[in-house]
Amino acid sequence: MRHTRASLVIATLLSVFVVAPAPVLAAPAMQQVMFVGNNWDGTVDVIRPTGTYAKLGRLNVVPDRSQRLWEIYLNPIRLAFYLGIQQGPGEGHDQLVDDMYATPDGTALVVSRPSFADVVSIDLRTGALRWRFPVSGYRSDHMAVSPDGTRVAVSASTSNTVHILNINTGAQLGSFATGDKPHENVFTGGGRYLWNMSIGEVNTDLDDPWLDFTKGDRRITVADTTTFQVARVIDMRNRLDAAGRSDLSDAVRPAVFTPDESKLYFQVSFFNGFAEYDVATDRITRVKTLPKNPATSEDRTTWVNDSRHHGLSMSPDGTKVCVAGTMDDYATVVDRTTLQEGPLVTASKPYWATVSGDGRDCVISESGSDRVTAISFATGQRVATVAVGDHPQRVRIGRIPATWTAPAA
């Protein structure tokens, strides 16, 4: 009996002092948003990804601007490149935000900053830097994020290198060499491969076709993202020649795959249109020439960074291609089966094209009028326009906490 009573006492004491398991906290509610990088003023506008595309807030992505400028001013070589970027691709302005992606948990925005030759992570709640990765060379450019959101690739355009980083820590996971002036990056194979397009020298006035040899080594480099070894090199010069288009540049600009990754659509320097490349047969299958704007100068040296058209996106079902006709001041939706373009939607120097959060619209950045415009894939007509910051370029979809508010300026 005594033993039984003692056991009861011990059990009672244990029930008092044993700490109950901590409750499992629910993950914060998230919302899908669209990030618009305003290259010349160093800000990112956060807008709704569908419907009215209303603005939710603005983030300063150069909180360390003074520190970076002092470092540049004290280094003659860096200063020379900084001024070259400003007067070349920057059209007289600093290039402060080229590309951006949210981290998987939606708490930070990772941004490439060409003039500062780096990639940084900005805390979306406080606006402070979490980490900074200086790229090799003197300029950072286009990025891409892996399908699982954990890795970000960035082109280091003056060192002919692509760096692949851990998106949460900024630690380099690997890198690989490319052709001259690496530009666009696209992950394929569920993240197993990375396609990099090098565009060569675009900052000179040696733009006549007979001077094409001065533009450098332009190619697509396909790298294995596990070993960081080059798996394949594709020289579009040979493929374009075989397709009877020796008149076209082989500098591949924005590019987009079909949903099954069987075909690649890409723009090239100086061309008002795009090409279709079949991956399995390794050949150009079709080339689409789009209308010229009669008001566009035919002087190639007036075209921004050798672009004529710069920006492609594809509807989620793979039936429509949206084209930003940069120097021709329009955007249009093209039927992928017939390659027939829809209405030419007037736009001021459209610089990029992406897809809305619901997949219904193509969203372009109008860098000449500081706004983004949504165009219906179904009708080819403009459905919304919203004002943003100075010289919007890249536009990306991401997820952030539903309660997010912009940090204080």
* pLDDT tens track for 94-149: 999 999 999 999 999 999 999 999 999 999 999 999 999 999 999 999 999 999 99
Cβ neighbourhood burial of 24 (10 Å; 0-12, 13-18, 19+): exposed
State phi, psi for 339 to the nearest 5 degrees.
60, 25
Residue 4 domain-assigned (yes or no)? no
Write the pLDDT tens digit of every residue in 173-201: 999 999 999 999 999 999 999 999 999 99
Residue 13 domain-assigned (yes or no)? no
User: What proportions of the chain, in percent to the nearest 5, are helix, strand and coil?
Assistant: 15, 40, 45
Residue 407 domain-assigned (yes or no)? no
Residue 180 domain-assigned (yes or no)? yes
Residue 220 three-state SS = strand
DSSP secondary-structure letter at 202? -
Q: What is the mean pLDDT of the chain?
A: 93
Task: Provide the percentage of residues in the chain whose pLDDT is more than 90.
Answer: 89
Largest CA distance in the chain: 106
Q: Is residue 344 scored above 70 in pLDDT?
A: yes
Residue 67 domain-assigned (yes or no)? yes
224: Cα separation from own chain's centroid: 20
Residue 50 domain-assigned (yes or no)? yes
Instruction: Note the helical H segments in 297-349.
Output: none
- CATH classification of the domain holding 78: 2.130.10.10
What is the reported pTM? 0.92
Closest CA to 161 of 202, 212, 221, 119: 221
- Do 350 and 333 contact (CB within 8 A), yes or no? no
Domain ranges, residue 124: 37-401
- Do 374 and 388 contact (CB within 8 A), yes or no? no
pLDDT value at position 390? 97
Residue 20 domain-assigned (yes or no)? no
> Which pLDDT band, with edges at 50, 70 and 90, does 15 fall under?
very low
Residue 17 domain-assigned (yes or no)? no
Query: How many domains in the chain?
Result: 1
